[in-house]
Structure 1
Amino acid sequence: MTASTTGAAHRPLRGTMRGLAALVLAAAAVVGLGAGAAEAHPAETTAVLVSIDEGSVELELQVPVRQYNAATSSDLDVDGADVEARADELAAYVLDRLEVADADGALDLSVSAVAETTVNDLPTADIVVIATAADGSVDGDVAIEYGVLIDTLATHEVYVSLVSDWEGGTLTDEEPELVTVLDWEHTTAQVSRDDGGWAEGLWATVRLGASHIAAGPDHVLFLVLLLLPAPLVAVGRRWVPRQGTLRETAGAAARRAATLVTSFTAGHTISLALVSLGLISLPTVVTESLVALSVVAAAAHAMVPALRRGEAWTAGLFGIVHGTAFATTLVALDLPLGRLVAAIVGFNVGVELAQLVVVAALLPALVWAARSRWFAGLRWAAAAAGAVAGAAWLVGVVRGEASVLGAAFDAIIAHPWQAYAVALATLAVVSVGPRVRQSSSPVREASRPTAETVVAR
């Protein structure tokens, strides 16, 4: 091959790498835009979790029982055992010290639930207050005038956090966005909503879907394991390097990855919609067990072509499993039907964007490294590690415990750029190994002509 031919063959890969940089930066923007400061409230403090709907504002007050007794000289059981029995007393106390208003004035308050719970290992009264707009629409900023406990206890603090506000563009299934900290000197919390609208809520679900993938090691690992053999071809019970130019290998790998991601997306779209709309339901332990098993299956396929020509269908089937897990996020948001349908669309778009970024970030380097004889060892090692991780997740789910490898994956998720750099460096080292010899005759998968036939040179 001449120098000019080599340059032509490498040019598409360089273009792909430039596109990769743009996609990775775009993904960082999708995941990071709008992320506010989130922190858990310390022990012996109150948390107020705010959720703003179209016509009402929900405030969930997590009031420590001991602090309530100190502020009111009450005698609630210090273990919180009689919180629900004295719900009327707690409701009256809260409503007497709380006001909520939007741009049009004060909202009508009522207590919808009082329950005993534990927060920061302390007995806590969980009190849900609903502030309803008389005209059916919460307009503009929301102001909360708050005096629960802090009107008596000078040292008590109240952490006010925003959980969800569709039109304000805030939706989260993890740590809510801290708005302010109240005390006896500062008793007003202002939730700024800017000039949001329907599009803000839709964009928030896109970010939520993307961040769900970015923070989900099981989903990312499953996708990476599917990508490992993408530059290869199945011949009998072995994966072998695809014959042909780098350009031809990259094109075939990209088409294969696109098919797998599309099938996976179709699967999780179906189950996400069905579960989110309440049409089907699976126990959490079943869903999480199936997700762990999907990781083990993908690892086995990366070692030996077990799925063969059923890759796309298998990816779609496992997509249904992962979509069932995704749906818990949207169900937790408790959105009305119209917004829920939009959230399903936005969440799927976010998941797809994140998946495409993973593909764009790894596939070019995998294609390059797969032309080295060392790649087989790396593939087996990575697949074995994936199988161990999936098995550990499965054991943890069955036992109702965290995976023994949870801390390691938490560290990877907490430092994604460093993990990505290590992966690229490893693939770079592998790529300098001795090249696989190019065959002068075509090699056919399972001795029959198929779409996976190796391109002969």
Structure 2
Amino acid sequence: MKRLILLLAGLFFALTASAHKPSDSYLSLSVKDSAITGQWDIALRDLDFAIGLDANGDAEITWGEVRAKHSEIAAYAMSRLHVSAQGKDCPIQVTEHLVDDHTDGAYAVMRFKAECPAPISVLQAQYNLFFDIDPQHKGLLRLDYQGQSSTAIFSPDKATQEFKLSEVSRFKQFVDYAREGVWHIWIGFDHILFLLALLLPAVVFRQDKKWQAVSAFKPAFWSVLKIVTAFTLAHSITLTLATLGVISLPSRWVESTIAASVVIAALNNIYPLFRERRWVMAFLFGLIHGFGFASVLTDLGLPQGALILALVGFNLGVEGGQLAIVAAFLPVAFALRTSWFYRRLILIGGSVVIAILAAIWFIERAFDMKFL
């Protein structure tokens, strides 16, 4: 029992620490003849961890502190980005420093230029920012050439990439966005916990104020299918509308409501309100989760020539990642449904842990506070 409590506590703090958006930077390159102009947005929190920006240690990074570190920021970042054309280096020169706000906080913005020895037909880019201190960091690239945009994602296993400027691979763009959709749902702990909170009662039913195990797999399967279908339909609607710019909601409101939805879904397992209509909850709150997915997709950068392709790829990736979670969960839950361990510890105890964790996320997001 002590080991189990320690395991749950470790999971609790790990999820709390990972509740926020993972580390990304946003790199844009525009190519014309032999010249490259670019902009690189890097999170101040990441730079503070890497080189230290908070000079007075008050946990607040000011413009003055960032300005004092301009040369150090440029040296650190540009030593981790190399561009070349046809195998010949294109030296980079920083031209301007700015600060901008993204959905997850303030970013240092560097504008730069590079001149290559000859007109560019094949561009090579090597990206190694933060990979030595954060293997989950990703660099999100948008490349513009003659009115066409393409995108790429740098990661430790794809740190060097090559781009033939006369070719834009639609299939590669689709695969990249699908992969990013899978990755986002797997690291989006608030989305996962919302879904799990709804699925936990799928293998049991409420009778005489107690949870009883279902007698067959079929009713559990149909319960899960209704929940997953409702959640998928709802977040697909708002993901599409938000990505196309039809509807826009404040990021803090969206993220706070997502956290609140997790709290409500978890508490419903302790004090049932929706009972067998959990699919209704999945649909209603799924509409809000769609806006959360859209903010991630927007941050990735959308190729204007393949907007629908990127949207469909990302959404299918989200669904694929979601189905993988459900496929892993349902057989195990069904096998354990008759045990005290499942009905008391996993269903009730797990719901309590989820509710507490999501309540912390809600307070952090709604009131811009940091507990852990």
Report the TM-score range of the alignment, normalised by the length of the smaller protein. Answer: 0.5 to 0.7
1:295 aligned residue (262, 266, 274): 262
For 1:115, give the aligned amino acid.
Answer: L
CA–CA distance in structure 1, aligned partners of residues 303 and 95 of structure 2: 18
Deviations 1:97-127 (A, max 9, x none): xx97756x999x9999752579xxxx97722
CA–CA distance in structure 2, aligned partners of residues 388 and 325 of structure 1: 21
CA–CA distance in structure 2, aligned partners of residues 238 and 139 of structure 1: 68
**Match in the other structure for 1:164:** 141
Query: 5 Å matches for 1:129-168?
Result: 129=113, 139-142=121-124, 163-164=140-141
**Match in the other structure for 2:350:** 382
Tell me, yes or no, if the aligned pair for 2:29 and 2:39 is still in contact at 8 Å: no
Say whether 1:210 aligns with 2:182: yes
Tell me, yes or no, if the aligned pair for 2:181 and 2:316 is still in contact at 8 Å: yes
CA–CA distance in structure 2, aligned partners of residues 252 and 112 of structure 1: 63
Tell me, yes or no, if the aligned pair for 1:307 and 1:314 is still in contact at 8 Å: yes
Say whether 1:200 aligns with 2:172: yes
Query: 5 Å matches for 1:74-153?
Result: 80=67, 114-115=97-98, 126-129=110-113, 139-142=121-124
Tell me, yes or no, if the aligned pair for 2:31 and 2:37 is still in contact at 8 Å: no
CA–CA distance in structure 2, aligned partners of residues 62 and 286 of structure 1: 24
CA 1:335–1:112: 2 relative to 1, 3 Å: farther
CA–CA distance in structure 1, aligned partners of residues 66 and 266 of structure 2: 48
Query: 5 Å matches for 1:164-313?
Result: 164=141, 170-171=152-153, 179=159, 191-193=161-163, 197-235=169-207, 237-242=209-214, 244=215, 249-313=216-280
CA 1:403–1:361: 2 relative to 1, 3 Å: farther
How many residues get paired?
294
Report SS of the residue matched to 2:272: coil
Report SS of the residue matched to 2:269: helix
Report SS of the residue matched to 2:39: strand
Give % identity: 28
Tell me, yes or no, if the aligned pair for 1:239 and 1:304 is still in contact at 8 Å: no
Say whether 1:60 aligns with 2:52: no
Between the two structures, name the one with larger relative contact order (CA 8 Å, sep ≥ 6).
2
**Match in the other structure for 1:394:** 362
For 1:352, give the aligned amino acid.
Answer: E
Tell me, yes or no, if the aligned pair for 1:208 and 1:347 is still in contact at 8 Å: yes
Tell me, yes or no, if the aligned pair for 1:114 and 1:128 is still in contact at 8 Å: no
Q: Where do 5+ consecutive residues of structure 1 fail to align?
A: 1-37, 41-47, 65-76, 84-89, 91-98, 145-160, 181-190, 405-457
Tell me, yes or no, if the aligned pair for 2:253 and 2:366 is still in contact at 8 Å: no
RMSD (Å), alpha carbons: 4.5
CA 1:284–1:207: 2 relative to 1, 3 Å: same
For 1:199, give the aligned amino acid.
Answer: F
Deviations 1:12-41 (A, max 9, x none): xxxxxxxxxxxxxxxxxxxxxxxxxx999x
Report SS of the residue matched to 1:141: strand
For 2:111, give the aligned amino acid.
Answer: I
CA–CA distance in structure 2, aligned partners of residues 130 and 319 of structure 1: 44
CA–CA distance in structure 2, aligned partners of residues 382 and 215 of structure 1: 19
CA–CA distance in structure 2, aligned partners of residues 256 and 264 of structure 1: 12
Say whether 1:322 aligns with 2:289: yes
For normalisation by structure 2, the TM-score amounts to: 0.65
CA–CA distance in structure 2, aligned partners of residues 124 and 232 of structure 1: 50
CA 1:164–1:382: 2 relative to 1, 3 Å: same
Q: Where do 5+ consecutive residues of structure 2 fail to align?
A: 1-21, 48-63, 75-81, 102-106, 127-137, 144-148
For 1:385, give the aligned amino acid.
Answer: V
For 2:162, give the aligned amino acid.
Answer: S
For 1:126, give the aligned amino acid.
Answer: M
For 2:141, give the aligned amino acid.
Answer: S
Cα distance, 1:49 vs structure 2: 6.3
CA–CA distance in structure 1, aligned partners of residues 189 and 227 of structure 2: 19
CA–CA distance in structure 2, aligned partners of residues 322 and 228 of structure 1: 19
Report SS of the residue matched to 1:192: strand
For 2:201, give the aligned amino acid.
Answer: P
Query: 5 Å matches for 1:410-429?
Result: none
Cα distance, 1:372 vs structure 2: 2.1
CA–CA distance in structure 1, aligned partners of residues 227 and 352 of structure 2: 21
